[in-house]
Amino acid sequence: MDHLRGIVLTNPRLAQRVLTEQRVADHVVRETLRAETLIRLGNPRAAATAATRAVEAAAAEDPVAPARLLPAAVVLADCAILSGAPDAASGCMDLKHLARDYADLPRMVVAVALRGVAIYHQRSCRHARRLFSGLHVARARVTGVDAIAVALAEARDTIDACCAARQFGHKPPVQPPAFTAGGLVQSELTPGALADRILRLPGSHDCAAV
């Protein structure tokens, strides 16, 4: 597994060739990593197809293994964010409930944070900013300013910057998308991850910035 993660992390195009049924027999792992690779290569719709296969296969296992199902489910939710799917926010709530059912706190945090990204893209920059600000304060109060608190503060500040610059239009990042927080390659939320997702699509601005 570590070898496969390393290939996806360092050479996504090679990973596309490696992640075949002949080389990676585990269907759930193969399709989850394939989805993460396709995200990195800028193809979230194809990634969603792979992630859906991974989720369906993991959910069909008896017993269900949370360590297999949840990463695939996070990647699927992230695909919805990146492709601008209209049900992205509700999908994040489903992910939050799934992570809660399996007592996976890190992925619960990821789900709530991704929902904030979807809200920014599709509903309200003000609502999203309040959400990230509140999450940051709550996290910092409990754990101090750890990596997750930093990521949440970055999300809030990125929205502020987008609001201030909205008159200039949306300019997506030129670098490849960051790896999915909560997937198999990157298991938890890290600095930069939320800011990357916020900047991928235009925001829905109901702010006072001009």
Supply the mean pLDDT for the chain: 95
Average pLDDT of the segment spanning 67-87: 98
pLDDT at 149: 97
Using the predicted structure, report yes or no on whether residue 132 has a pLDDT greater than 50. Answer: yes
DSSP letters spanning 87-135 = THHHHHHHHHHHHHHTT-HHHHHHHHHHHHHHHHHHT-HHHHHHHHHHH
Spatial CA neighbour of 119 closest among 209, 208, 200, 198: 198
pLDDT at 20: 84
Sorted by where each starts, the structural domains of the chain and their CATH numbers stand as 2-200 (1.25.40)
pLDDT at 25: 87
Average pLDDT of the segment spanning 63-75: 98
Average pLDDT of the segment spanning 96-111: 97
pLDDT band at 130 (very low <50, low <70, confident <90, very high): very high
What's the whole-model pTM score? 0.94
DSSP bridge pairs for 97:
none
Please list, in sequence order, all residues whose beta carbon lies within 8 angstroms of the beta carbon of residue 161, skipping any fewer than 6 positions away.
Answer: none
pLDDT at 210: 41
CA distance 128 to 156: 8
The single-letter DSSP state of residue 167 is G
pLDDT at 16: 87
Average pLDDT of the segment spanning 86-95: 98
CA distance 36 to 29: 11
Angle at 88 between CA 92 and CA 6, to 5 degrees: 70
pLDDT at 110: 98
Average pLDDT of the segment spanning 7-19: 89
Average pLDDT of the segment spanning 33-40: 96
pLDDT one-digit tens code per residue, 134-192: 999 999 999 999 999 999 999 999 999 999 999 999 999 999 999 999 999 999 899 99
Average pLDDT of the segment spanning 197-201: 98
